[in-house]
Structure 1
Amino acid sequence: MFCRLLSLLVAGAVLAAMPVWAESPPLSEATLSCLGCHEDLHPGMVEGWRASRHARITPGQAMQTTGLASKISSTDIPSGLQDTSVGCAECHTLRPDAHADTFDHFGYQVHVVVSPEDCATCHATERKQYGQNIMAHAYGNLVDNAVYADLRTSINGVLQPGEKQLSAKAPNNATKAESCLYCHGTKLRFDGLASKDTAYGPVMLPEIAGWPNQGSGRINLDGSKGSCAVCHTRHRFSMAEARKPYTCKECHVGPDVPAYKVYTASKHGTIYSAENNDWDFSAVPWEAGTDFRAPTCAACHISLVTKPGGTVVAERTHALSPRLPWRIFGLPYAHPQPKDPQTSKIKNAAGLPLPTNLDGSPASDFLISAEEQDKRKGNLQAVCLSCHTQSWVDGHWQRFENTIEVTNEATATGTGLLAQAWENDLAEGLPQNSSIFDEYIENVWSDIWLIHCNHIRFASAIGGGGDYGVFADGRYVLNRRLREMHDWVESRLPQQ
């Protein structure tokens, strides 16, 4: 075939351009064939891959590193993959029978969508841990929850005139894909092959509904959940990139989850902004005080962190949950973390798929115990104690848990006002088997917990307080919105 012949002509140039890792590791014939065309068609992909660890070291070489410095967790990597670089073919031709989008591409059985199950060939532990994440189940947790589906429609739907009020026309698939499902992930579907014009003439390529997407809970064409590229973007798959807060910013910037903007305004974020060019984001293990002086998202929640000398402070995990005692993203109240990452299974006392009841009491059967919370708190605080004294950490935590309590009280006040509106037929909601998000008073109520209480909690957890918890969508605006709810209800009740 043309591309295979071309690959033989350019193989010497490709190898010459490879970065050096002792000696440049060999490339498989299949990867050379890929590079023969894609080096010209997609130079950004190829150059990104050339700068990757995948291109510079073989799995067999990586397996020789043991202990804390190891970056590969599988011990049963097929022998045929151990002695060449991890190139195009090593990822895009793995497990061809498992992928619905596998097609014949110049003599190779190629699939477009690389899934976590493919990455598990070398990173089995990381794949297993990631599957235990709420993030890995983000698609189903959103679309299989009737309450969240109602909220999505109220946000993404096109508002149109109705009899009494505006009504929301259900959003189409394109709108869903670029809004909530951008981060939560889409469900991919293979729709057959279609001819596409390329620089090398017409080529049959897969048509994939829901693509492109790199959401954390994407449903892949082999049935697996998630995308490793959500944090380790293709085709470089950089550990350093995943450790920097910009990566998390893509989905955690707010105003509903304002983690990144709170971080940048915090003391930790200030130190990061001033000094991060001097930090080592590729070191394994990652030494507190030596490789970094202030934590990033990864240092607190994911990375293997040690003290100088090698004492482990926190084990590496791709599950996140071991260091998360509280779920501060109000739904609508902050609550202990769920036991199961598939949160759409949760049912509160009223049968709603919510982790708390509308009075704020937890759906305890579905949430972790106080003992488990304490264990996870200890795991997280161990990172804090690398740089702070116990009294500092204890004081921070006491304020944080106070913030959880008082913001939940504020949500309860708003929920009581909303219930009063429903009971007096000022709005239609749960008692009327109607949407709880499609009227003005309901929009103000959801602002209270989805925006303002979340700002206050994230400011407390990540920044120890500050303006994002007060004037920047925090307490000042929260109380104003509660007064708006109160005045709206009172002005419409029958006068005594």
Structure 2
Amino acid sequence: MYKHIIKIISFFFLFYTTSFAQSSISPETQICLSCHEIVTPGIVKDWKAGLHSKVILKEALSKDPLSRKVNSSLSFKNKDIVIGCAECHTLNPESHKDTFDHNGFKVHIVVSPKDCAVCHSKEVEEYEKNLMSKAHINLKNNPLYDKLIKSSLEPNPNILSENDACLACHGTKVEVKGKEIRNTQMGEMEFPILLGWANNGVGRINPDNSQGACTSCHPRHSFSMEIARKPYTCSQCHKGPDVPAYKVYSVSKHGNIYSSKKNEWNFNNTPWKVGEDFKAPTCATCHVSLLVDTNDNIIVERTHQMNDRLSWRIFGLIYAHPHPKDSDTTKIKNKAGLPLPTELTGEFVKEFLIDEKEMEKREKKMKSICMACHTSSWVESHFTKFHNTIKTTNEQTLEATKILLEAWEKGVANASCIFDEAIEKMWVEQWLFYANSVRFASAMGGADYGVFEKGRWYLNKNIQNMKDWLFFLLKKK
């Protein structure tokens, strides 16, 4: 069987050497391709469609600073090659617990941000400051999360249920649990057994102990910037009732224009030129991309931190609040000792949050993006409404919290778990669904998502339901 494999490899090695010499594929990657063209043709086709297969490192380095997407200094000795299978899957083998012997190579399955940093160190450094990079540990190390999943998933959720639920977006912990022999088209081969795989969650814990997954936004194996710049990518995790960003964007005027005109736009240019490459923003426009005007003047620099254009954190927690200073939010404790950035009554835990000066700086960045297309009066009016929405939604959440606190105080609800009783679930919906929906609608022009589609109507209705339920519980008592 192995003689058969060697013959196949030799044939394809010769084929790729002659047919793809122009592409400067390394000999190691050519060997990978010779088998994987047969066993995983979809992967190979996808890779061929991406820039990694088309641009040699020397060419990538020669681009002007605004257009360059790689480090100015690279550790690859041979810069006359493209980035292929071997360049990623054989990097840093000693640090990857999932490294295994595979046809003469030390290969690892999970390519991590540490691997990507060889060419994209700035992006990886920025991403480490992003809350997304810590999405797994911030969730799993929060004691309230354990209570939430037991009341949300099933009484005793197992790791597979958890990986298929919250950790699908927040990221699993990928661990090696031994090895196994599998039958393949090339015969029997040994592979590592991975728990928590497959997963593209933004805060995934990788076998080399790094955090994050670049493939959340740049999926394997084309790693397309176009895909990352389109809103469908973000919708994977930002679409549900708790984070309705994509739904709101879809009905917004920006979303209307995108849906109608996207086929006329250029999603591959770097830098991205406002008014020429696109006529309305996508998620990436406002939160990530390097933008220039028609004279190539920089509007905002590229960022993979993402929250450095955001002053307010408007979803996921009980009250909207200034963004945390640190991407590791497990450090945050309020006066009651709870792992929350606010008190239950809404006061900010300022020690752990950015100050007003930093908030102003971040909002100024966002406004500069808006003003590439809008007048200052339009932009200022928009942010005035948005600030009012933060104030009023926090007030309505506080109203619901007061009802819940009264229920606990009068003994008709038990505060030992804040997620498992009917009145507590109503309270959770107040901030996790309805307040979030209103804030996203206000931030992005989401029309009915601010009113009847889980908006202000439901905020007020839910308060009345909680009052009625409390009255019922007190009468029953």
Report the TM-score, using the length of structure 1 for normalisation. Answer: 0.93
In terms of mean alpha carbon deviation, does 350-359 or 62-71 score higher?
62-71
Query: Could you tell me how far 1:290 is from its partner in structure 2?
Result: 0.3
Out of 408, 412, 416, the residue aligned to residue 394 of structure 2 is: 408
Structure 2 residue 122 is the aligned partner of structure 1 residue 122: no
**1:164: which partner in 2?**
none
Equivalent in the alignment of 2:85: 88
Does the 8 A contact of 2:235 with 2:245 survive in 1? Answer: yes
**Counterpart check, 1:447 vs 2:412:** no
Match of 1:153 among 150, 154, 161: 150
| Structure 1 letter corresponding to 2:49 | A
Task: Determine the structure 1 residue equivalent to 2:449.
Answer: 468
Partner residue of 1:492 out of 456, 463, 473: 473
Q: Does 1:134 align with 2:96?
A: no
- Contact 2:17 2:30 survives alignment (8 Å): no
Query: Counterpart in 1 of 2:252?
Result: 266
Q: Is 1:69 paired with 2:71?
A: no
Could you list the per-position Cα deviations for residues 313-355 of structure 1 after superposition, in whole angstroms to 9, with x for gaps in the alignment? 0100111121010000051000000000011110011110001
d(CA) in 2 for partners of 1:109 and 1:456?
A: 51
Q: Give the corresponding residue for 2:266.
A: 280
Matches within 5 A, 1:412-423: 412-423=398-409
**2:196 is equivalent to residue 194 of structure 1:** no
Equivalent-residue separation in structure 1 for 2:362 and 2:31 (angstroms): 48
SS of aligned partner of 2:82: coil
Structure 2 length-normalised TM: 0.97
Unaligned segments of structure 1, at least 5 residues = 158-168
- The amino acid that maps onto 1:265 is V
Equivalent of residue 94 in structure 2, options 90, 93, 97? 97
Structure 1 residue runs of 4 or more that deviate by more than 3 Å after TM superposition: 1-5, 11-18
| Distance in structure 1 (CA, Å) of the matches to 2:428 and 2:18 | 58
Indicate if the aligned counterparts of 2:334 and 2:342 stay in contact, CA closer than 8 A: yes
5+ unaligned residues in a row in structure 2: which ranges? none
Q: Deviations over 1:192-248 (max 9, x none)?
A: 211011112111001011111110000000010001100000000001110000000
Q: Which residue of 1 aligns with 2:57?
A: 59
In 1, distance between residues paired with 2:369 and 2:277?
14
Q: Secondary structure at the match of 1:142?
A: helix
Say which SS state the counterpart of residue 220 (structure 1) adopts.
Answer: coil
Aligned in 2, Cα 1:182/1:330: closer, same or farther, shift over 3 Å? Answer: closer
Equivalent residue for 1:9, pick from 5, 11, 16: 11
Query: 5 Å matches for 1:202-351?
Result: 202-351=188-337
SS in 2 for 1:490: helix
| Aligned residue identity for 1:271 | I
Question: In structure 2, what is the Cα distance between the partners aligned to 1:34 and 1:495?
Answer: 70
Of residues 279-288 and 65-74 in structure 1, the stretch that sits farther from structure 2 once superposed is 65-74
**C-alpha distance in structure 1 between counterparts of 2:395 and 2:143, whole Å:** 25
Please tell me the residue identity of whatever aligns with 2:171: G
Cα shift at 1:13? 4.0
* 1:143 matched residue in structure 2: 140
Aligned in 2, Cα 1:309/1:15: closer, same or farther, shift over 3 Å? farther
Residues paired across the two proteins, number? 475
The alignment partner of 2:109 has SS state of coil
Q: C-alpha distance in 2, partners of 1:6/1:270? A: 51
- Give how far 1:281 is off: 0.2
Amino acid at match of 1:107: G
* Contact 1:468 1:474 survives alignment (8 Å): yes
Query: 2:98 & 2:26 partners in 1: Cα distance?
Result: 23
* 8 A Cα contact 2:242 2:316, kept in partner: no
Which residue type is aligned with residue 459 of structure 1? Answer: A
2:326 and 2:252 mapped to 1: Cα distance? Answer: 32
**What one-letter code is carried by the residue in structure 2 that aligns with 1:224?**
S
What residue identity is the alignment partner of 1:33? I
Counterpart secondary structure, 1:196: strand
- Tell me if the contact between 1:49 and 1:55 (Cα under 8 Å) persists in the aligned partners: yes
- Alpha-carbon distance in 2 for matches of 1:453, 1:495: 30
Contact kept in structure 2, 1:285 and 1:304, CA below 8 Å: yes
Q: Per-residue deviation at 1:93?
A: 0.3
Matches of 2:204 and 2:471, distance apart in 1: 45
Single out whichever of 2-11 and 65-74 deviates more from structure 2. 2-11
1:427 partnered with 2:407: no
1:4–1:36 CA contact under 8 A, matched in 2: no
User: CA offsets, 1:334-386, max 9 Å, x none?
Assistant: 00000000111100111100010011000110000000000000011111000
In the alignment, is the contact (CA less than 8 A) between 1:459 and 1:466 conserved in 2?
A: yes
1:17: how far off? 6.6
Mapped to 2, the partners of 1:77 and 1:267 lie a distance apart of 45
